[in-house]
Structure 1
Amino acid sequence: MDLKSGYPFWAIRNGLMHAFPRLQQDLRCEVAVIGGGISGALIADELAAHGFQVAVIEQRDAGWGSTAASTALLQYEIDTHLIDLCARYGETLAARAYLACAQAIGDLRTVARDLRDVDFRDQSSLYYASKPAHVAVLREEAALRARHGLRLRWLDAEALASDYGLRAPGAILSECAASVDPYRMSLRLLARLRKRGAQVFDRSRIERMQAGSRSVELISSDGVRVRAEHVVVAAGYAGQQWIDRRLARNRSSYAFVTDPLPAAELQALKDTMVWESARPYLYMRSTGDGRLVVGGCDDAIDIPARRDRRVESRAKKLVRKVGERLPRLELQPAFAWAGTFAETADGLPWFGPHPQHGPRVQFAMAYGGNGITYSMIGAGLLRARIQRRKHPLANLFSFERLK
């Protein structure tokens, strides 16, 4: 798949951090992970840390797919409001999903602390009402979240103007959020895995998969065979090719990053990510070196050639939209890019086996605005599946909810 356009900042900033060998001879392992982006890296790390013999196989250079284009906002907040998830799946399961996302940010913090130098930063999350008509819904949403123990407070228009210079009628300010350099985190995880004895291959495309009752055989485009007891398909948006049924809608999303800004200009944005209630939504967050990442202006359909043409014009549109909300900021894009973005109908991910391939093939489809957070949850969920243990989100985050 053609997953990105323009100049994704993380790839430019970091370059090609690590080179891994191609898959050139047959191998056996306990778990083969297809995909060497942030999802595959987190899942492989979780499995290897619990004693599994793991092999990671990536068709591009590792981390060079959608991970390189991610803007990496780490949130407990799901694109679907808690109110709406409650109406769809019941309050117990909906709240469990939100609380698991909050826990996942702490888990990601632990992973990042062990890796070091991946620009992991704790932040607050400011979710503002795009128009006055959205205020009542966001107030109800805030009350429901608070009832389930999520730490937040409501800010009115006056507080938003004085504290953030933001023109909006109201907002939820949550304490639980973070950001990271997703490409750097992925490559550091994969390099550590290899150092600890796992096998990592890139530039190796898996073309066929045959699942049996006791093992799964993978065949690469070069004819190399991999036999594994279990397979995890963590191929990002390309993972949909392995399932006949449509599971998500692909969109194009646009972003840019500025040069480093003075602290006096960033002000509260240094430690607060901002996003809005409109769909698709405008969002922004800072980096450790004082840049501002801004994203949004999604296309309803992902058409790579059109996406390529629109990068510059959408960056200009994003600048205008930020100016309407934060008139004190005069932003100039340093690098602009776009990428494929997939979302499910309910905003939830897909983790686990699909009937089409049987119980030994697990899928990791961390689709939605908080995909990295989902991937952290999915790492534990898939390990539980492989170990035949129960997991509190196994039904809600799996293909079983299609029923």
Structure 2
Amino acid sequence: MDLRTEEPFWLMRSGIIQSFPSIKKSASTEVVILGGGITGSLIAYYLAKAGISAILIDKRKIGMGSTCASTALLQYEIDTPLQELQEYVGFENAARSYQLCIEAIAKIEKIVKELNVEVGFSERKSFYYASNKSDAKELPKEYELRKQIGIDLEYWEEEEIKNKFGFSAPAALMSKDGAQIDAYSFTHHLLDFAQKNGVQVFDDSEVTEIKHHKSSVELTTKYGLKIDAKKLIIASGYESQQFLSKKVVQFNSSFAIVSEPFEQKELWLDNCLIWETARPYLYLRTTDDNRVLIGGKDEEFYNPKKRDALNDKKAMQLEKEFDKLFPDLLFRTDFKWAGTFAETKDGLPYIGAVDERPNTYFAMGFGGNGIVFSLLAAEIIRDELTGKQNNDAKIFGFDR
């Protein structure tokens, strides 16, 4: 599957951070993790911490699928607003989903501190503004629901927005909880830890066949090597859909640009995360080297050639959107890329097992806060493997 154009910012900046070998002989293990992006690396980290024997394998270089093209906003806000999400899964599950995302951001920060690595992590407030007056009518209810479940946020009206940001919007929510990270670098550091603690990591090793047995799973690589495991975890990002007969995701094309570095350190209020209510939405963040990253202008199709042909046009549109918000900041695009993006009907991830693939777990954390969902998947699957009861697993199950 063609996941992205060739020059995403994080890959261009960091290059190949660490090399891993391809698998050269058949092996057996307790668990195989299929996928070496941010999702697979978080799972490998959690399994290493739990002392579970595991092999992680990827057909590409580590982190070079969607992970190196991720815009890597860490948000508790799910793409589906709380008031809409409760219509899909009920208020209790919707509320818990939002709370779990807040907890996950804090856990990611804890992991970064534990590893003592520089991965561009920083806490950021999240500013969610109404794109029009119609959307603004929904924000007071959204504000009250979030306050009701203990989320720390403020409701701002047009005058306050204008005074603090310089641009106009009819209403907005300013939330305390949010962060940003370099997901590509984080992936490599997670796997460095996992490898040092017993997880075997292989890249450039394509799996061409999976056989499910009564109490095991057998994977075959393109060179005919076998990997036998008691359990398989499919953490293949957007490519995970190919392993399911039921379609659970909608594939879109998304676009992003990164500016040249700015001289001033604070580009807008607290350099917070910025995004809007419109769908598809525009979003902005800064980077640890003082650039601005803008994403959005999504298109509802999966067609790599058509997607890539739009890249220049979409970059210009994103520049214009930035200029509308911050006309005094001279944005000069330094990097631009396009990628495949997937979302689920309710905005929640799919985590867990399905009957058609015995001894297998899926970690499908999609949407605007896919990294946060990936951490939740890592914890849920770790608990399944260790026999620990996880009361939140049902929220993200395939039978919801």
User: TM-score higher than 0.5 here?
Assistant: yes
Secondary structure (helix, strand or coil) at the match of 1:382 reads helix
For residues 358-400 of structure 1, give each alpha carbon's deviation from its aligned partner in whole angstroms, at most 9, with x where no partner exists: 2x10011111110000001111111122233322221120102
How does the TM-score come out when normalised to structure 2?
0.98
Paired amino acid for 1:133:
S
- Where does 1:299-310 land on structure 2 (aligned, <5 Å)? 299-310=299-310
Checking the alignment, whether the CA contact within 8 Å between 1:167 and 1:326 is kept in structure 2 is no
Deviation at 1:46, TM superposition (A): 0.5
For residues 171-221 of structure 1, give each alpha carbon's deviation from its aligned partner in whole angstroms, at most 9, with x where no partner exists: 100000000000000011112221222100000011111112211111111
Q: In 1, Cα distance between the equivalents of 2:110 and 2:33? A: 22
Secondary structure (helix, strand or coil) at the match of 2:124 reads strand
Q: In 1, Cα distance between the equivalents of 2:280 and 2:6? A: 21
Q: In 2, Cα distance between the equivalents of 1:264 and 1:48? A: 38
> Counterpart in 2 of 1:400?
399
Q: In 2, Cα distance between the equivalents of 1:275 and 1:248? A: 22
Secondary structure (helix, strand or coil) at the match of 2:246 reads coil
How many residue pairs match? The answer is 399
Secondary structure (helix, strand or coil) at the match of 1:334 reads strand
2:285 aligned with 1:282, yes or no?
no
Q: In 1, Cα distance between the equivalents of 2:7 and 2:140? A: 38
- Where does 1:239-258 land on structure 2 (aligned, <5 Å)? 239-258=240-259
Checking the alignment, whether the CA contact within 8 Å between 1:258 and 1:335 is kept in structure 2 is yes
Paired amino acid for 1:155:
W
> Counterpart in 2 of 1:133?
134
How does the TM-score come out when normalised to structure 1?
0.97
> Counterpart in 1 of 2:20?
20
- Where does 1:226-237 land on structure 2 (aligned, <5 Å)? 226-237=227-238
Q: In 2, Cα distance between the equivalents of 1:32 and 1:87? A: 36
> Counterpart in 2 of 1:93?
93
Deviation at 1:6, TM superposition (A): 4.5
Checking the alignment, whether the CA contact within 8 Å between 2:124 and 2:270 is kept in structure 1 is no
- Where does 1:140-219 land on structure 2 (aligned, <5 Å)? 140-219=141-220
Q: In 1, Cα distance between the equivalents of 2:309 and 2:86? A: 40
2:58 aligned with 1:58, yes or no?
yes
Secondary structure (helix, strand or coil) at the match of 1:266 reads coil
Q: In 1, Cα distance between the equivalents of 2:122 and 2:266? A: 19
> Counterpart in 2 of 1:386?
385
Deviation at 1:317, TM superposition (A): 0.2
Further displaced range: 289-298 or 207-216? 207-216
For residues 45-88 of structure 1, give each alpha carbon's deviation from its aligned partner in whole angstroms, at most 9, with x where no partner exists: 11110110111001100000000110000000000011111122
Paired amino acid for 1:280:
P
Q: In 1, Cα distance between the equivalents of 2:208 and 2:363? A: 18
Q: In 1, Cα distance between the equivalents of 2:130 and 2:268? A: 21
Q: What percent of counterpart residues are identical?
A: 38
> Counterpart in 2 of 1:366?
365
Q: In 1, Cα distance between the equivalents of 2:49 and 2:173? A: 37
CA-based RMSD of the aligned residues comes to: 1.2
For residues 149-172 of structure 1, give each alpha carbon's deviation from its aligned partner in whole angstroms, at most 9, with x where no partner exists: 000001111111111122211110
Q: In 2, Cα distance between the equivalents of 1:347 and 1:209? A: 29
Deviation at 1:114, TM superposition (A): 2.2
Q: In 1, Cα distance between the equivalents of 2:35 and 2:341? A: 17
Q: In 2, Cα distance between the equivalents of 1:354 and 1:388? A: 18
Secondary structure (helix, strand or coil) at the match of 2:388 reads coil
> Counterpart in 2 of 1:345?
345
Deviation at 1:262, TM superposition (A): 2.4
Does the C-alpha gap of structure 1 residues 32 and 264 become closer, same or farther in structure 2, counting only changes over 3 Å?
Answer: closer
Checking the alignment, whether the CA contact within 8 Å between 2:265 and 2:290 is kept in structure 1 is no
Q: Which 4+ runs in 1 deviate beyond 4 A?
A: none
Paired amino acid for 2:233:
V
Does the C-alpha gap of structure 1 residues 377 and 265 become closer, same or farther in structure 2, counting only changes over 3 Å?
Answer: closer
Q: In 1, Cα distance between the equivalents of 2:45 and 2:388? A: 19
Checking the alignment, whether the CA contact within 8 Å between 2:125 and 2:270 is kept in structure 1 is no
Gaps of 5+ in 1: none
Gaps of 5+ in 2: none
Q: In 2, Cα distance between the equivalents of 1:197 and 1:80? A: 38
> Counterpart in 2 of 1:375?
374
